[in-house]
Structure 1
Amino acid sequence: MNKYFLLASLLSISQYVFADIKDNQDIISYTKDKKNEQISLLKELVDINSGTENKQGVIAVGEKVKPLLENLGFKVEWKELPEGMKHAGSLIATKTNNSSSKEKFLVIAHLDTVFPSDSSFQKFEYIDDKKKFAKGPGVIDDKGGIVTIIYALKALDHINELKNKNITIVLVGDEELAAKPTDISRKSLIDVAKDNSIALGFEFALNDNQLITNRRGLSEWYINSSGKQSHSSRIFEKDVGYGAIFAIANTLNEIQKELSHTNGLTINPGILLGGSHPIEDIEQGSGKVDGKKTIVSNNAIAHGDIRYLNENQRDYAKKIMTRITLNNLPLTETTISFKDIIPTMAETSANKDLLESFNQINKNLTHKSLSAVPSNDRGGADISYISKYMEGAIDGLGPWGTGAHTEKETIDLDSLETVTNRTAIFLKNYPNF
């Protein structure tokens, strides 16, 4: 009896899978037919340098995408940032077709990359004879996400389903290095989010079996230590003290000892300058300082970040770090300041439900299950700014590959077909799974 029961169960599952694939075969056939066209668009976008600071390059990518969305019936406009911010704004595309529907989708990706206009890494290039893999600046982060969105929408339009959907797309111009203050540079995104219910983020995936249901928050900190300048032969004497470099080193060491083993919390000093007259160029990621080996330093600065699971953990870290800076070495003084940058994307039951919806689609397409990425494995993203306004949010819906933010950034081109199918099927059927 058990064997017959098992066979019946397997047949039932097989029929369900077959029926589900059959119901969406028109989408699957379309994306398969358009694979080469989708890759060609990806190559065009990758070959346009759009490093965050290359404002005109970012705009050029947006202008390439704009008519494609207009041809699908979207109203598309640029939301510019103030001129002094020196970054491109966001391209926002809106299509409202069903005023009675509760489902209003906010789709998020970004136009910029981390690669400046003078980078040696500029072009899309196949890296194997079978053309299964390619490398290029932004090939997964995030131009792969952009072409996923466009061809998922094209697939829906092809089967006459796009007309039934309420979708807003925000393609941010400076995700990789948000212009400050972010309450201005992310205002357009936040304003749009308040009119929508489900957020879908198209950052790249780490692999073929994970999506993102939560993200850690991000804050930055600045430590400034001062000391008494003197000849090095007199360091540690009662009237000279320890100098600024020892002071800041002691502070960083104490922070490491007290907080490095806190689960989900990371604290990293990214730049350290000590001597005399240290100056950090934050925009360029560089600094300069005067000093000699024979002089006790009178000033040192450090700049770093904190990543945290929730606001309580952030506040705890700030409290401990502040307390440590008050415990000064002789004849030194240390201060610390903080600036919040990206809020957390909190784990919610609605986010988990979205994951399960994509999981069902993915199992039917690939026979593989999806799970949530541990929050420690990913940083912040634009979806974090708006998740608190949404009924549900999920990220990592773009294609997968390796080497993001490096000159080895590589895409698995077969993943484009999978994630495009997955997105189109989700939008077609949600919430009826």
Structure 2
Amino acid sequence: MTDNLLDRVAALVAVESPTGDLEALAAAAEAVRALLAPLGGRLREHPGEMGTHLVLELDGHGSDSAPVLLVGHYDTVWPVGTLQRMPWTVADGVARGPGGYDMKSGLVVAAAALSDVLASGRPHPPVRLVVVADEEVGSPTSTPLLRSLAEGARAALGFESPHPGGPLKRGRHGSTRLRLRVGGRSAHAALDPGSGISAVDELVDQLVRLRALVDRPGVLCNVGSLTAPGRTNVVTDAAEAEIGLRFADPAVEQEVMAAVRAMAPVRAGARLEVEVLSSRPAWVPAGSDELLTTALRVAAVLGVELDPAPAAGGADTNTTGSLGVPTLDGLGPWGAGAHAEHEQFEVAALEQRRRLVAELLLALA
């Protein structure tokens, strides 16, 4: 049975799907459709400017409970051609390949678990499975869809990778991507520097100010890119930076983002634009809920340790969790190397996760 699951992961990994590459994503969406087609149900497409998001709806059986939302994505951080230097391999119980760990193996687990649930003939709740195309850049086009699907949901299950070794994720830092765009005025850097306004100097000062704004516990700041096309003999009139922010506390998140949006130019005549590219609110779970209680009970029967704990990384479960929907994430196989050259997952985890998810869905009936 594990070989069959590995074949399904291999089929998805073979179709490279970097975020933003619409041609590649279209082919990958077709591969996801093929994975989900045997489940039946109603498969709807939601085209967007960053790719097509897929939603599968399955009716419940012998249960009048609210639906359970399953959450995943098929985009990856790897450009087309990565397979040539990072080929799909399986050796010594470990599978390797770009996007296999994050998170195409998780999609296979979700589909396999749903197949088991449907074949069991036992009561189960209705299911909504959403697979989005833009998660790796913060889900800017799919978040409204996620929010609508979360309405009325009894619980949400995320199929991202777990903590090392398999513990689930319950709680996530907020994650915001923003762009600082600065406009200045060009001039000759030697003959008439005083008439220019350096966008580069302005951007550097703004980044220093940003560092001061986020210098507090529970906030992470990473400047991911700097762009300033120009020449050394010309005062540059344009510059921008893309920045990632992480927040452990929703109140701090709101306070910092209000201050960031209020940032103003340092230099007279300079222009500053703060653009929020994507934003996922912090997910801070309340105490115990029915989903957690049920998951722990199922895991105990299966002899599985869940040990749910918060995660620093952001994902689409930020959205469901922040809306108050009981949520668990990390139901994909455990492994290592998300977004890294050594990306890999443990083959044995496929079957364990499949059984865990299937039994959890049945228990939620």
Query: Please, what TM-score do these two structures have when normalized by structure 2?
Result: 0.85
Question: Is 1:189 paired with 2:161?
Answer: no
Q: Work out which of the residue numbers 273, 292, 295 in structure 1 matches 2:234.
A: 295
Aligned-partner SS, 1:214: strand
Match of 1:21 in 2: none
Sort the Cα spacing of 1:177 and 1:364 in 2 relative to 1 into closer, same or farther, 3 A.
same
1:200 Cα offset (Å) = 0.7
Question: Looking at both structures, which has the greater relative contact order when contacts are Cα pairs under 8 Å and sequence separation is at least 6?
Answer: 2
Sort the Cα spacing of 1:298 and 1:260 in 2 relative to 1 into closer, same or farther, 3 A.
same
The runs of 5 or more residues in structure 2 that have no matched partner are none
1:357 Cα offset (Å) = 3.6
Q: Work out which of the residue numbers 276, 283, 286 in structure 2 matches 1:349.
A: 286
Question: Is 1:263 paired with 2:217?
Answer: yes
How far apart, in 1, do the equivalents of 2:117 and 2:108 lie?
Answer: 14
Aligned-partner SS, 1:204: coil
Match of 1:212 in 2: 169
Aligned-partner SS, 1:307: strand
Q: Work out which of the residue numbers 43, 63, 67 in structure 2 matches 1:77.
A: 43
Given that 1:232 and 1:296 are in contact with CA atoms closer than 8 Å, whether structure 2 keeps it comes out as no
Q: Work out which of the residue numbers 152, 159, 162 in structure 1 matches 2:113.
A: 152
How far apart, in 1, do the equivalents of 2:124 and 2:300 lie?
Answer: 26
Matches within 5 A, 1:46-57: 46-52=13-19, 53=21, 54-57=24-27
1:134 Cα offset (Å) = 1.2
How far apart, in 2, do the equivalents of 1:385 and 1:367 lie?
Answer: 27
1:99 Cα offset (Å) = 7.4
How far apart, in 2, do the equivalents of 1:247 and 1:340 lie?
Answer: 21
Given that 1:355 and 1:372 are in contact with CA atoms closer than 8 Å, whether structure 2 keeps it comes out as no
Aligned-partner SS, 1:79: strand
Match of 2:182 in 1: 224
1:370 Cα offset (Å) = 0.7
Match of 1:305 in 2: 244
| Percentage of matched positions with identical amino acids | 21
Given that 1:112 and 1:174 are in contact with CA atoms closer than 8 Å, whether structure 2 keeps it comes out as yes
Sort the Cα spacing of 1:212 and 1:345 in 2 relative to 1 into closer, same or farther, 3 A.
farther
Matches within 5 A, 1:300-379: 300-321=239-260, 325-326=264-265, 328-329=266-267, 333-339=270-276, 341-349=278-286, 354-366=291-303, 368-374=305-311, 377-379=312-314
1:201 Cα offset (Å) = 0.9
How far apart, in 2, do the equivalents of 1:324 and 1:58 lie?
Answer: 40
1:40 Cα offset (Å) = 2.0
Q: Work out which of the residue numbers 35, 41, 45 in structure 1 matches 2:12.
A: 45
Sort the Cα spacing of 1:307 and 1:221 in 2 relative to 1 into closer, same or farther, 3 A.
farther
How far apart, in 2, do the equivalents of 1:99 and 1:190 lie?
Answer: 27
Q: Work out which of the residue numbers 103, 127, 130 in structure 2 matches 1:167.
A: 127
Sort the Cα spacing of 1:382 and 1:121 in 2 relative to 1 into closer, same or farther, 3 A.
farther
How far apart, in 2, do the equivalents of 1:323 and 1:41 lie?
Answer: 49
Question: Is 1:125 paired with 2:89?
Answer: yes
Sort the Cα spacing of 1:349 and 1:340 in 2 relative to 1 into closer, same or farther, 3 A.
same
Sort the Cα spacing of 1:207 and 1:357 in 2 relative to 1 into closer, same or farther, 3 A.
farther
Q: Work out which of the residue numbers 389, 410, 420 in structure 1 matches 2:344.
A: 410
Aligned-partner SS, 2:171: coil
Given that 1:213 and 1:351 are in contact with CA atoms closer than 8 Å, whether structure 2 keeps it comes out as no
Give the letter aligned to residue 190 of structure 1.
Answer: R
Give the letter aligned to residue 29 of structure 2.
Answer: I
Query: Please, what TM-score do these two structures have when normalized by structure 1?
Result: 0.73
How far apart, in 1, do the equivalents of 2:261 and 2:323 lie?
Answer: 31
1:398 Cα offset (Å) = 0.9
Give the letter aligned to residue 79 of structure 1.
Answer: E
Sort the Cα spacing of 1:418 and 1:79 in 2 relative to 1 into closer, same or farther, 3 A.
same
Match of 1:393 in 2: 327
Sort the Cα spacing of 1:69 and 1:88 in 2 relative to 1 into closer, same or farther, 3 A.
farther
- Once superposed, what is the RMSD of the aligned Cα atoms? 3.0
Give the letter aligned to residue 244 of structure 1.
Answer: A
- Number of equivalences: 360
Greater C-alpha radius of gyration: 1
Match of 2:64 in 1: 101
4+ runs deviating over 4 angstroms: 239-242, 350-353
Given that 2:63 and 2:124 are in contact with CA atoms closer than 8 Å, whether structure 1 keeps it comes out as no
Give the letter aligned to residue 47 of structure 1.
Answer: A
Sort the Cα spacing of 1:313 and 1:383 in 2 relative to 1 into closer, same or farther, 3 A.
same
Given that 1:48 and 1:60 are in contact with CA atoms closer than 8 Å, whether structure 2 keeps it comes out as no
